[in-house]
Amino acid sequence: MVVGVLVELSSKNIDKIFDYKVPKELEKKIKIGIRIIVPFGRMTLQGFVLEIKNTTSKYDLKEIIEVSDEDIILTDELLELGQKISKLTLSTLISAYQTMLPKALKAKKGRVINKKYDTYYKLKKDISAEKLTAKQWEIVNIILEKNEILRSEALKISTSALNTLIKNDLLKEEKKEHYRLTYNEKLLPKKELTDEQKQAVALVNLKKYDTYLLHGVTGSGKTEVYMELIEKALENGKSSILLVPEISLTPQMVSRFQQRFGSKIAAIHSALSDGEKYDEWRRISRNEAMIVIGARSAIFAPLKNIGVIIIDEEHSDSYKQSDMNPRYNAKDIAFIRGKTHNCPVILGSATPSLETYARALKDVYKLLSLPHRVNGKELPFVNIVDMNKEMKSSKGHFSNVLLTAIKKRLEKKEQIILLLNRRGYSSFVSCKNCGFTFKCPNCDITLTYHKSSNTLRCHYCGYGEKTYEICPKCGEKALSNLGVGTQRIEEELQKYFQDSKILRMDYDTTSKKGMHEKMIKAFKNHEYDILLGTQIVAKGLDFEDVTLVGVINADTGLNIPDFRSSENTFSLLSQVAGRSGRSSKAGEVIIQTFNPKHYSIMYTKTHDYIGFYNEEMQIRRTLKYPPYYYLVNIKVSGKDEKEILNEALKIKRALLRNLKNTIILGPSSATIFKLNNIYRYNLILKYKKEDNLLAVLEKIQNHYKSKVKIKIDIDINPSQMI
């Protein structure tokens, strides 16, 4: 027997299948989609079996060393899906397969993730005639009642009693696997749907593939619609996938679904340990879990017979993998899997992406609307504070309007959420005497001051250094902290409201495992009065006592040089505004800005998505951006600035020769020109229809695959242009 194997090395030069002989003793274990270990040159590698050839080879083939799995890792569907991802993203086939799998199942050398087992004891024989001590009888009686006893339970009664029973050959040992995550089976009754929710559910045909946009204002009960559709799929014997954009949203979503569906759910996201991901994957593949909830990678869950795929907060750019190959979008994978399983794909959002809403208006997607909050309450009042006028009278980074509103809510024992989309203490440290600014030596970016650790850090490459009191350039004691981060705002808040309890939620405070969940639970239990955070506090969180949301600086996102900056700002402000007044208490939102007349902020004030959509679409049409044009970003990078610019110009000339219906911009320096001592130039392609585009891009990519000094990254339909 000969097998075709795809090895673990992700290089374009070896992106192909290699033949190996199978020893007779391993032939029965061979299946397509399993992992095996093979010799490769001087190395020993893992790989996936992609072909089985019941023939002999005329070549002297090497033999496989061993079979790694009993079960198939890559199902027929995932094998085909990986091939599509590879073609659509111009990535290697092995990288496409690797991105689908949890670490424990990737074709990769390293630490083996073991299964967890519990030890139980059962009786070997009738012990009625045995003379036992009281403690021994206590252990035996539990076994007689339950048929078995857990070792840890027996040890709590008496270690010596247990050991004596084992020594006298009265007990037999049995090991049972247990999963690292457990789910509470205490179910709560489901809520009665509103008429709007019932109509949305009724309009979804669960028996065929279609894409639906569920456009619902914040607090309109989109999650209840999701649960109802998933329950209907379950009644039909079908499974479901629910994607959420942020890890911070997963604990709350998992909790709500667990109360409805118990252990039928499984969670897959990056906050889980490798062992937990391994267990969840196996629960899913064994049909023990029928509902998968998680972030981007959960779209690859090995479910069979999928009945519905739901993508919550579909506008989020976190569904696109932008930092590594394959640069896939989970929404595109959802459409592929939806067609494969002939099931609907639901895209939900209060602020849909322009591309999605445009398709809904053209009936490419079916539009479902939830225009009202479930409790009948109005959306919160939004107060725009012009900081140009407030600067003289404001205290620190807070206007008097916001400080007064916070004080009022604290007196009422209500809660507040404050958004500042920047972590750290200050954005950068500069000398007031000579203008010197501390910059990262590896990246073209200023260092951020973190007061808690008293360090300056780069948020891109991780470089850090101690802080200084004296300017290293002019020697004067004139250094000052400019800009503002969450640490500084927390310090100011504590000064103004000394008796209040403040919870800061950003990357620095949530990096440890389980911190998202602990913080959300603590705030929900009223252990804190004010939740201060970056954009992770803006989406999906539901606290009934939050009646005030404050945005410290609404202009942060507008300063990013990206064509989506206005859309992202409107979306972020609208989403965070929706955290206020979600129960019976009226909500208020205060947005501090230096650009009160900017349309993204003005439409946030009136909760007018349609108004924003119409104005932004005019700009997109004029500038030839999505949804009117598709985009490709080609990044040329290397250590020699002149060399990569010359190569970028060569690539542009090749594109101009071969693409007749495409606008080609650049090369221009990337927003962060130097990153980790690597210089980067961008070429931007805009097109409506270009039949040979993928072939041309692949040819360019192949030309550079063997060049060590030049790296080419091609991002088709990029989510951001940095």
Per residue in 480-523, pLDDT tens?
A: 665 567 888 888 899 999 999 999 888 777 777 778 888 888 99
Residue range 82-101, pLDDT digits in tens: 999 999 999 999 999 999 98
Residues contacting residue 565 through CB under 8 Å, at least 6 positions apart:
557, 558, 559
What is the pLDDT at residue 208? Answer: 96
For residue 57, what pLDDT is reported?
66
Cα dihedral 303/308/312/315 (nearest 10): 100
| Residues with pLDDT less than 50, the chain | 423-426
Instruction: Answer yes or no: are the C-beta atoms of 174 and 330 closer than 8 Å.
Output: no
Cα dihedral angle (401, 402, 403, 409), rounded to 10 degrees? 110
pLDDT at 206: 96
**Residue 426 confidence (pLDDT):** 44
Q: Is the bond preceding 667 in cis, omega lying within 30 degrees of 0?
A: yes
Residue-wise pLDDT for 21-57, tens only, equals 999 999 899 999 999 999 998 888 999 999 998 776 6
* CA distances (Å), origin 224, targets 201, 232, 281, 440, 441: 10, 12, 26, 47, 50
Query: Cα(416)–Cα(200) distance, rounded to whole angstroms?
Result: 32
Q: What is the DSSP string of 173-201?
A: EEEEE--S------PPPPPPPPHHHHHHH
Residues 283, 289: Cα–Cα separation, whole Å: 6
| pLDDT for the residue numbered 425 | 40
What's the sign of the alpha-carbon dihedral 84, 90, 93, 94?
negative
Q: In Å, how far are 74, 267, 279, 287 from 273, measured between CA atoms?
A: 21, 12, 10, 21
What is the C-alpha separation between 510 and 297, in angstroms, rounded?
20
* E strand segments, 33-125: 35-40, 43-53, 66-67, 117-123
Task: Determine how β-strand 455-457 pairs with β-strand 448-450.
Answer: antiparallel
Q: Are 611 and 603 in contact (CB under 8 A)?
A: yes
Secondary structure percentages of the chain, helix, strand, coil, to 5:
35, 25, 40
pTM of the model: 0.88
Q: Which of 302, 277, 275 is nearest to 112 (CA)?
A: 275
Polymer length in residues for the chain: 722
